[in-house]
Structure 1
């Protein structure tokens, strides 16, 4: 595999590094997010998962196919369903 900047190989990155970069970018791009990060969103977590998990969950929801996308925001039962799906597929959440 080809080494990339930061000493990582293609397809490999530490979750904390990714979390920090995403969090910093969102705070620069979105003032509302920045305010929420200072007050309401005390802890932000990230888990790197295989894209196949997203497709598998959509299929389990009856949303298979090119016209269906993973929701940007999961609330209520959907977030619980997603987390249970991850756990049942061996992902620590």
Structure 2
């Protein structure tokens, strides 16, 4: 017989025992976005809920996460320096003598 409480608690994900997982799914779950208030081990504050403070924290953390992902996914380009390449191949020898 389950005893029901009138206390609020955070919902937990319930996976069946025979749930099959893959390595890719585990990596995606490990690298997924998790706001900072869910990493803290403090009880939920009702004033934070009523004042939408959790929403502000979530948006701030999400923006940081998106910015880091974009920076990591952005391709790194090195600008070509053709003058440096030409300087390396420039010779000081004259191959044909004109006039002498």
Alignment TM-score, normalising by the size of structure 1: 0.25
TM-score of the two chains, using structure 2 as the length reference: 0.23
More contact order relative to length (CA 8 Å, sep ≥ 6): 2
Larger Rg: 2
